[in-house]
Chains A and B, each alone.
Chain A
């Protein structure tokens, strides 16, 4: 069984630019959630995708958007990057309907905005 893979692992962008982060979900999982972890903080929920539609969103502005594809992989897009967007972005996959809330996390993408 393959785990969750995220790409790229590290990224440096300039303020105002746009970025796309990618996530391949674990085999058998149909739901993908994205989290932002700032330095010294816990992961903050950005949004979740199920059946290619957004299924819940945290307190993040509309310039954070996402997609889920038929193979359950997902993208996180951030427009008009700000310095405060510098963080570790984590993707987690799960199987909706599974009672044990089995979230599997990827290793994350470290985004630095300069």
Chain B
């Protein structure tokens, strides 16, 4: 029962262009969503979050969009940089306050 899904295992983007990472969820009770970035041999690090009462949250080059009716969120990175190459996880907070993760998308930004 995968409640948070990232259907693209990998994404390759040219430096300077936009990266768009997508995430779908099934539980309409989720009210808080987060994106984490993970480098090899390191734990996930928090990137950006959004509450279900909003449809957009922006932090520098990173913007998260939430479409509640479609149960879909996306992370936009503009402009993409080689240092952004990592695995990105979408996560939701369930009713018990626990993080539920998607499978991850490996982003590769090429110079």
Interface residues of A (CB under 8 A from B): 4, 33, 35, 40-45, 48, 56, 58, 90, 92, 96, 100-108
**CB of B35 within 8 Å of the partner chain:** no
A92–B32 alpha-carbon span in the complex (Å)? 18
Q: How large is the interface on B (under 10, 10 to 19, 20 to 34, 35 or more residues)?
A: 20 to 34
Q: How many Cβ-Cβ contacts under 8 Å join chain A to chain B?
A: 55
A92–B34 alpha-carbon span in the complex (Å)? 15
**Nearest neighbor of B90 in chain A, beta-carbon distance:** A42
**CB of B49 within 8 Å of the partner chain:** yes
Interface residues of B (CB under 8 A from A): 4, 6, 9, 32, 34, 36, 41-46, 49, 89, 91, 93, 96-104
Residues of B within 8 A of A104 (CB): 46
5 intermolecular pairs with C-beta atoms under 8 Å apart: A42-B6, A45-B99, A45-B100, A101-B93, A103-B46
Q: For the complex formed, measure the closest distance between the CB of A102 and the CB atoms of chain B, giving whole angstroms.
A: 7
Residues of A within 8 A of B102 (CB): 42
Instruction: Indicate if the CB atoms of A4 and B43 lie closer than 8 Å.
Output: yes
Q: For the complex formed, measure the closest distance between the CB of A55 and the CB atoms of chain B, giving whole angstroms.
A: 8
Residue from B42, B44, B49, B98 in contact with A100 in the complex, judged by beta carbons closer than 8 Å: B49
Instruction: Indicate if the CB atoms of A56 and B101 lie closer than 8 Å.
Output: no
Residues of B within 8 A of A58 (CB): 98
**Nearest neighbor of A41 in chain B, beta-carbon distance:** B103
Residues of A within 8 A of B96 (CB): 56
